[in-house]
Amino acid sequence: MRDFVLKRMVALVLPFVTMLGLYVIFHGHLSPGGSFSGGIITGLSIIAFNLVFGTERGEEKISERLMALIESFGALWYGAMGLVGILRGASFLMNKGAGVPVGQPGSLYSGGLILLITLGVGLKVASTMVTLFLELMEEED
Amino acid sequence: MANKVAIVLLVCIGLVMLVAISELPLYGSPDTPAQNEVAERYVHGTLGDTGALNMVAAIVIDYRAYDTLIETTVLFTAVIAVFMVLKKGSTGKGEQG
Amino acid sequence: MSPNIADLLNVIFLTFLVVVAIAVSYVKDLIYAAILLGAYSVAIALIWLLMSAPDLAITEAAAGIGMTTLMIAVISKIGRKVE
């Protein structure tokens, strides 16, 4: 399974897949896509690395502890973004009504909290998929 | 015998579903019940309300933010459930139970 | 009403969907069943694209084709094999 051609091809393709996933996450408020699909694409690239090069080298790149940290703090990050609304005197999870600066529509920074929330949820989804997969792979052997 | 009963029941259910589908409005027709003032409000007000070009992201993360917040919690619960079933305990306490 | 290309593609994809869904229950090896489910997701993603819902198409392509196939393949290696 881990032959030369597969390793070279994956090494060529994987950076672009990871970039595509991060692009979909970061442009979730401008183009189709969003946190869930972008997170799954990013997670798939990490899973492919773990499958082809072995879990030991995957552990060197991104440790399981870092994954667990992102996984745990993703939902908390969403809640913290919701608290911004309360701190500015409006209701929970409020975006423009709470006076968060909404940039020029169409530029990368626009939509207020949407970009920050999408970033947090996307990284959380990626780490969730990778954690589930590694856990099932450990069970196999 | 049970096979024939199952086939007859499946055909009946399929007929009922086909009749129900034939009552649905056509795809993209302007007089569907979903084309009411709520959809108007979202289509015309999203850019001014949130400043995001992608309407779906604006609805999911701004208008329906509570929904997405609980959805991330569902993912968290899934990982915790897998850990509880599959993770081998390192402290040794969990193996006695 | 003249048939246009989108209707024709819709019929082709829906027929493919039904064929694949029936074929999944007939194959013996679980790996083949997982790959056929991936093909099913390809057809659904193309149908979403025809219905001008690119959001759903991207999510279906990533989650249905990639993640579900991988997860089912790994789980079917853990579990027993159908003889």
Residues of A in contact with B78 (CB under 8 A): 128, 132
* Residue of chain A with shortest Cα separation from B67: A93
Q: C51 lies in which domain range? A: 5-76
* Residue of chain C with shortest Cα separation from B86: C78
Alpha carbons A18 and A14: distance in angstroms, whole number = 6
* Cβ-contact B41, B58 below 8 angstroms: no
Return the percentage of chain B with pLDDT > 70, whole number.
Answer: 90
* Residue of chain B with shortest Cα separation from C56: B56
Class of residue B37 by CB neighbours under 10 A (exposed 0-12, middle 13-18, buried 19+): exposed
User: Would the ipTM clear 0.85, i.e. be above it?
Assistant: no
Q: Is C40 within a domain?
A: yes
Phi, psi of B63, rounded to the nearest 5 degrees = -70, -40
Per-residue model confidence as pLDDT tens digits over B73-94: 898 898 888 888 877 655 555 4
Question: Which residue among A29, A75, A131 places its CB closest to the CB of B54?
Answer: A29
Distance in Å from the first CA to the final CA of chain C: 51
What distances in angstroms separate CA A106 from CA A103, A121, B3, B25, B50, one per listed residue? 9, 21, 59, 35, 12
Cα dihedral B79, B85, B91, B97, rounded to 10, equals 140
Residues of A in contact with C67 (CB under 8 A): 40, 43-44, 129
Encoded tokens for A30:
């401008």
- Which region, left, alpha or beta, applies to residue B88 given φ > 0 means left and ψ of -120 to 50 means alpha? beta
Establish how many alpha carbons lie within 13 A of residue C6's alpha carbon, considering only the half-sphere containing its beta carbon: 7
Whether A36 shows a pLDDT value over 80: the answer reads yes
In this prediction, residue B6 carries a pLDDT of: 94
List chains adjacent to chain B, taking adjacency as at least 3 C-beta pairs closer than 8 Å: A, C
**At A105, is the secondary structure helix, strand, or coil?**
strand
Would you place residue A140 in the very low, low, confident or very high pLDDT band (cuts 50, 70, 90)? low
Average pLDDT over residues A86-90: 84
Return the percentage of chain A with pLDDT > 70, whole number.
Answer: 97
Cα–Cα nearest to A100, from B42, B50, B44: B50
Residue, of B30 and A19, whose pLDDT is higher: A19
The runs of H, that is alpha helices, within A88-112 are: none
Would you place residue B31 in the very low, low, confident or very high pLDDT band (cuts 50, 70, 90)? confident
Residues of B in contact with A121 (CB under 8 A): 68, 72
Handedness of CA C74, C38, C67, A43 (dihedral sign): positive
Handedness of CA A17, A19, A20, A22 (dihedral sign): positive
In this prediction, residue B96 carries a pLDDT of: 45
**At A33, is the secondary structure helix, strand, or coil?**
coil
Q: Which residue has the tokens 């064929």?
A: C19
* Residue of chain A with shortest Cα separation from B51: A111
Would you place residue A112 in the very low, low, confident or very high pLDDT band (cuts 50, 70, 90)? confident
Residue, of A78 and B29, whose pLDDT is higher: A78
Establish, for the pair of chains B and C, how many residue pairs have beta carbons separated by less than 8 Å: 3
Chain B within 8 Å of C4 (Cβ-Cβ)? no
Per-residue model confidence as pLDDT tens digits over C56-78: 999 999 988 888 888 888 887 76
Q: Which of A33-47, B42-56, B80-94 has the highest mean pLDDT?
A: A33-47
Residues of B in contact with A33 (CB under 8 A): 54
- The number of beta carbons lying within 10 Å of the beta carbon of residue C56 is 17
What is the tally of structural domains in chain C? 1
* pTM of the model as a whole: 0.84
- The number of beta carbons lying within 10 Å of the beta carbon of residue A137 is 17
Q: Which residue has the tokens 């579990």?
A: C79
Question: Which residue among C58, C71, C75 places its CB closest to the CB of A32?
Answer: C58
CB contact under 8 A, C51 and B27: yes
Encoded tokens for A51:
């499958």
**At A107, is the secondary structure helix, strand, or coil?**
strand
In this prediction, residue A81 carries a pLDDT of: 87
Average pLDDT over residues B55-70: 87
Handedness of CA C33, C38, C43, C44 (dihedral sign): positive
Would you place residue A61 in the very low, low, confident or very high pLDDT band (cuts 50, 70, 90)? confident
Would you place residue B97 in the very low, low, confident or very high pLDDT band (cuts 50, 70, 90)? very low
Q: Is C82 within a domain?
A: no
Alpha carbons C65 and C61: distance in angstroms, whole number = 5
CB contact under 8 A, A136 and C74: yes
- The low-confidence residues of chain C, meaning pLDDT below 50, are 81-83
